[in-house]
Chains A and B, each alone.
Chain A
Amino acid sequence: MEFLKQPWPWYIAGPLIGLIVPILLLAGNKPFGISSSLKHICAACIPANISFFKYDWKREAWNLFFVAGVVAGGFIAAHFLNGQHAVKLSADTTAVLKHQGIKDFSGLLPNDIFSFRQLLTLRGFVFMVVGGFLVGFGTRWANGCTSGHSIMGIATLQWPSLVATCCFMIGGLVSTWFILPYLIKL
């Protein structure tokens, strides 16, 4: 139990995440993927006569149960497995972020960006609202996210998923090195 309460190293966490691929396949032929849930939520709540959202989303309800489980898992980890703590971040990253203006390193997310009070500032708006929009728009256009393409897609040797994953990385690198320094200063 003590072990579970420590942060889990990559060589434990990665294989456990990889096991979700066969778990979902054997449980009912479901492909591992998260971003489709956003599409199903649109189809269920705001289809607005758009052909892209006109399908029987109830047939894909498993995916909504899956993401509801992810929320529940987040709750369990935070409340019963000591999941809220400072990250043992590399000293280089800490130094760069401090230099850029991040002050709060006490949790998994910096409070000086991700908080309800920050939401009313330009910086908070860009990080949460604009950032979230890009994640939703981008994953749907790319037809998948890190789970659907990078893990499920590459694990099943599908080259379009490798292309998508390379583009995720290029976008993230450009964003981190050339855009974020300005956004953090907003």
Chain B
Amino acid sequence: MRNIKYLIAGAFFGIVLVKSEVISWFRIQEMFRLQAFHMYGIIGSAIVVGMISVFIIKKFNIKTTAGEEVVIPKKEFSKGNIFGGLIFGVGWAITGACPGPLFAQIGSGFLVTFVTLLSAIAGTWVYGLLRERLPE
């Protein structure tokens, strides 16, 4: 039951993704064609708000609801950031969806995108299979 709060946070995220049209294939096309500010505004302002929030948490040493110190996991650099990033970018423009919007598309009634999700799961699985043979 302690996971219910994450379900609610996810629902909040899903609503915003649909209402701001981030789940729209058209909006992603428009973004990569540099023909509208909409998507850049969303990602940019999300980063700024996230940054300020983390700054405030650190500055005032705000604890989690369980009273723990807030810990931010470190992202280690790997070549995968580059190669995987490029591959994901290609896929993002084709499907018009990064993983978050993919889940929201399904919920909002585009049931066929469940196939896209299954294929993304398959892609993740194949990565796991080939991992040791790929440059890290």
Contacts and interface: CB of A to CB of B under 8 A. Distances in A.
Contacts, number: 507
A48 B52 CA distance: 42
Interface residues on A, range: 35 or more
Given A14-B43, A24-B9, A140-B127, A70 B17 contact: yes
Interface string A107-132: 01110011110110000001111111
Contacts of A66: 6-7, 9-10, 13
Main secondary structure of the interface of B (DSSP, over half): helix
B81 A164 contact: yes
A158 B91 CA distance: 24
A137 B62 contact: no
A77 B19 contact: yes
Interface string A29-63: 11110110111011000101010110000000111
Interface of A: 4, 7-32, 34-35, 37-39, 41-42, 46, 48, 50, 52-53, 61-63, 65-78, 81, 83-84, 87, 89-90, 92-93, 96-97, 105, 108-110, 113-116, 118-119, 126-147, 149-161, 163-177, 179-180, 183
Top-7 shortest CB links A-B: A171-B89, A73-B14, A69-B10, A74-B107, A141-B84, A18-B49, A136-B123
